[in-house]
């Protein structure tokens, strides 16, 4: 599977791409500065390449949107034709300096992305955990949970596999409208990590009580 990352030289995009490249996926890091992306890709190895946003979008069967929310609409426009592509919206809507959120939850950020990326299958995922934890998703005996939502079962299946390869327990949270429910978890994570002093080495976990046999 080929993965194009829009915002591929940022902290989230570069970290995800590096992990997936090590898992055998073909990655193209897309950047506003294609030369920077190409240079970074060389450091990753033979499974990686670099280019512009549009080149990364054309390359990928799955497109990771890993840019600040303030640049999401412009970045999608720069990516060109996204019809039929799977887009993983990993944006958070936190305001600069953690000063609240830039938008409300109705509609969600993911629903806005779906409106801008005409014809794409949008899946919300990888937005409720710190970048630092993506390489260490085991917390004692528990795996961090990854909540995903979207309207295409096939697209969700593919994104679920990407999440499993990262090391998450993946939870299907339903249709894309449920991004309105899971996007605020990112703001809660930020509140706990930074404002409540818990630090970034935290994650959410869905616990299940086993049924008696």
**pLDDT class of 7 with cuts at 50, 70, 90:** very high
pLDDT tens digits along 102-125: 887 889 999 999 999 999 999 999
Is residue 156 helix, strand or coil? Answer: helix
pLDDT tens digits along 178-190: 999 999 999 999 9
* pTM for the structure as a whole: 0.94
pLDDT score, position 211: 67
pLDDT score, position 105: 80
User: Which two structure tokens, joined as six digits, stand for 40?
Assistant: 């970074």
pLDDT tens digits along 41-67: 999 999 999 999 999 999 999 999 999
User: Which two structure tokens, joined as six digits, stand for 148?
Assistant: 């995903």
pLDDT tens digits along 75-110: 999 999 999 999 999 999 888 777 678 887 889 999
Phi, psi of 64 (to 5 degrees): -100, 120
Mean pLDDT of the chain: 95
* Signed CA dihedral, 167, 172, 58, 33: sign only: negative
Strands of the 48-51 sheet, one edge to the other: 48-51, 26-30, 2-6, 62-65, 86-89, 121-124, 145-150, 169-172
Is 212 a residue whose pLDDT tops 80? no
Give all domains of the chain, ordered by start, each with its CATH number.
2-195 (3.40.50.720)
Alpha helices by DSSP H, 23-82? 34-44, 53-59, 72-79
Distance of alpha carbon 203 from alpha carbon 58, whole angstroms: 33
Is residue 145 helix, strand or coil? Answer: strand
């Amino acid at each position: 599977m080929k993965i194009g990352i829009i915002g591929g030289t940022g902290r989230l995009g570069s970290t995800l791409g590096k992990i997936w490249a090590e898992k055998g996926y073909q990655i193209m890091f897309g950047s506003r500065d294609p030369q920077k992306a190409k240079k970074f890709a060389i450091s990753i190895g033979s499974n990686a390449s670099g280019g512009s946003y549009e080149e990364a979008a054309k390359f990928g069967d799955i497109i990771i949107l890993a840019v600040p929310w303030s640049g999401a609409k412009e970045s999608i426009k720069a990516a060109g034709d996204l019809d039929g592509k799977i887009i993983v919206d990993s944006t958070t809507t936190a305001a600069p300096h953690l000063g609240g959120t830039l938008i409300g939850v109705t509609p969600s950020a993911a629903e806005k992305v779906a409106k801008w990326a005409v014809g794409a299958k949008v899946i919300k995922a990888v937005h409720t955990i710190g970048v630092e934890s993506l390489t260490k998703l085991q917390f004692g005996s528990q795996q961090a949970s990854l909540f995903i939502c979207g309207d295409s079962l096939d697209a969700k299946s593919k994104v679920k596999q990407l999440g499993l390869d990262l090391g998450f327990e993946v939870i299907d949270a339903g249709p894309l409208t449920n991004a309105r429910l899971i996007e605020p978890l990112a703001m809660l994570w930020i509140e706990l990590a930074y404002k409540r002093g818990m630090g970034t080495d935290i994650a959410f976990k869905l616990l299940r009580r086993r049924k008696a046999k």
